[in-house]
Amino acid sequence: MRKTFKYDVFISHSSIDKPEVRALAERLKNDGLRVWFDEWEINIGDMIGLKIEQGLEESRALVPVMSTNAFASDWVMLERHTAIYRDPTNAQRRFIPLRLDDAEIKGTPKQFAYIDWKMKDESQYDKLFAACQSPVLLKKSLGKGKSKAIPCKILQAQNSSIWG
């Protein structure tokens, strides 16, 4: 695995879910994460597939937003398969699924614990934020009272609730 990444998190989603996902991406960004979000990174004239591939390669974690719309999207499926192919057992915790609605989870994503974002619950946001943080950000945040970052020891204790 790469030691450094340009982005902390790549958010994979259906364009139909964009308004909800944009709000989440903006919140993560405002809280200090480096977020790859398509409308911020893909410009007119860019080769979309190439930009997505670069974004996936340069991101420490992938957050596939699971929804009825996402499960019908070929792009979301491609992004999900790319991340799983690179780390099939998710040993490096690069695959952080987020459930947006009550769509039935089928296939490979079914075996992963996920962030439940259906109710937009603060505790779920905290788990997502912690799971997406780079080790560098975690290290910098230790001892800072106002930081949203969660110390490594707390992350280890939360792993069972984040990952099942």
Domain architecture of the chain: domains with CATH: 7-120 (3.40.50.10140)
In this model, does residue 137 exceed pLDDT 90? Answer: no
Q: Which residues are catalytic?
A: 79
Q: Could you read off the pLDDT of 5-41 as tens digits, one per residue? A: 999 999 999 999 999 999 999 999 999 999 999 999 9
Return d(Cα 36, Cα 59) in angstroms, integer. Answer: 7
Please give the radius of gyration of the chain, using alpha carbons only, rounded to the nearest integer.
Answer: 15
Q: What is the pLDDT of residues 44-95, one digit of tens each?
A: 999 998 999 999 889 999 999 999 999 998 878 877 777 666 666 666 678 8
